[in-house]
Amino acid sequence: MTTEPLLKISELNSPTVWPASAVVAPGGDIAVGGVSLAELAERYGTPTYVLDEDEMRARAQAWRHAFPGGEVVYAAKAFLCRAVIDWMEQEGLGLDVCSAGELELAATRGFPADRIVLHGNAKSPQDLRTALRLGVGRIVIDSGCEIARLAAQVPGPGSQRVMVRVLPGIEAGGHRKIRTGAEGQKFGLSIADGDAAEAVARILGQPRLELVGLHCHLGSQIAEAEPYAEAVRRVVAFMAGLRDRHGVTLPELDMGGGFAVAYLPGDPAPAPSVYGRVISDTLASACAEHGLPVPRLTVEPGRSVVAPAGIALYRVLSVKRTGGRVFVAVDGGMSDNPRPALYGARYTVRRVGRASTAPMRTTTVVGRHCEAGDVLAEAVELPEDIRPGDVLAVPAAGAYHVSMASGYNMTGRPPVVAVSGGRSRMLVRRENFDDLRSRDVGL
C-alpha cells in the first residue's frame, strides 16, 4: 500500500457514507480499517464485500448507549454470519431472527437463546419447532392462526413467552414496499379494526403462552423520530385498554427497527441517540398519561448497524457510450444487490486504485445480468477515462446485499471479508460452481 500521506474521507466530500476508518490517498486508493480496497480486490477477487469490524461494533455500542435501560437486538436479516453473531454477543446485543436457518446458525455459536426474538408473518412448522427446541426468549405472533398452532407445540409443563405484533396505522419508510406499520399490508394485527385485541384475548386464554408485551415495526429507512413517537402513543393507549379490559399490565414493548442510514452524501441519518431520546421520552410521558408503569423497551436496529460498515467492490468489465449516455458494466449486479431493482435504491460509487485528472462524467453503473433493470447506480459521477479493469467501490453496502443475494445466472454469491487494524480475513467464502452443482441431483 502507498506510503503517501492519507487524508480522512470526511475531509473530501462524502462524510456520511463511508466508515469512520476510511482514508484516501493521492494515488486514488481508499483504505478502510487500515487496508487498501484496491489490494482487497486483487487478493479476494470481485465482486467482494468488505465489512469494517470496528465500525460495526461502534454502531452496536451507540445503540446500546441510546437505550441504557432497554434492550437492543440486532436484526439478523440485514446480514448474518458466524462472526457477526459473535460480535453482537460481545457488544451485548440480542438477535432478531426470521427463520429456523438463522436460529440454527446462532445456535452454532452458542448465542444465548433467551436473547433471541423470532419474527415472521408466516412462520413454518420448522421455524416454530426450532424456536421451541432452542428456547428462544420471545416469539412474535403475527397472525391469529398461529396462536393455537404455537400453543399446541409448546412442551409442558412450562410456557412460551410471546408478543403480539400490532399495526398502529402509521405510514413511514423510504419506499412503499418497505412500509410495514400502515393498514392493509401483510404484517401484524390491526389496532383499529380489532384484530390485535382479539389476538390478545385468545392468547390470554392459552395457558401454554405467556403474553409479555407488544411489538410494532413501522418500516425501513425512517429518517425522523416523530413516527416512532406517534407509534408509541398509539400502542401505549392500546396497552391501557388491555389493562382496563383484561386486568393485565404488559411489561414489555418492542418498537422494532427501520432507522435510516445515508446512502448518498447529505442523506438524513439521525444518530441513535436522537431516536433513543424521542422514543424513551415519549414512552415515559404516554405511560404517565395512562397510569401505566413504563414497560421494558426493545429496539431492533439492523441496517443502521451493518450497512455503513460494508463496502462492495466491483471490477469494470465494459464501458459503453451510446445514445448520449455512458454505461459502465461491472462483474456483479442484481444477484448480489437487488435493492435498486426492487425499490429504486440509490448509491454512491467511487473508483479506487487509480488516480486521474480526467473530468467527471455522469454515468450509469449496470450489472452483468440479463435484465434491463439490472442497474446498480443511476446518475453517478465517475472519471471520463473509466475503463475495463478499474475497481469501483460502493459504500453503505453492508445490509440487504449479501443477505438477499440470489443464484441468478449461476454467477455465485460473493465473499465477505472483514477488515480491522490493518488486517483482513475471510468471513464468508465465494460461492463456486461446485457449490451450485452439488445441489443439482436430477441425474
Question: Hey, which residues does 424 pair with through a beta bridge?
Answer: 419
Q: What is the dihedral of CA 327, 330, 332, 337, to 10 degrees?
A: -40
Side chain identity at residue 40, one-letter code: L
Q: What is the DSSP secondary structure assignment for residue 342, as one 8-state letter?
A: H
At residue 59, φ and ψ (nearest 5 deg) are -70, -35
At residue 136, φ and ψ (nearest 5 deg) are -65, 150
Residue in this structure with the C-alpha cell 419447532, named with its chain if needed: 129
- CB of 191 within 8 A of CB of 170? no
DSSP letter for each residue of 101-128: HHHHHHHHTT--GGGEEE--SS--HHHH
Q: Assess whether 370 carries a catalytic annotation.
A: yes
Give CA–CA dist 429/202, Å, rounded.
46
* 359 to 185, 348, 366: CA distances (angstroms): 47, 18, 21
Give CA–CA dist 92/227, Å, rounded.
27
Active site residues: 370
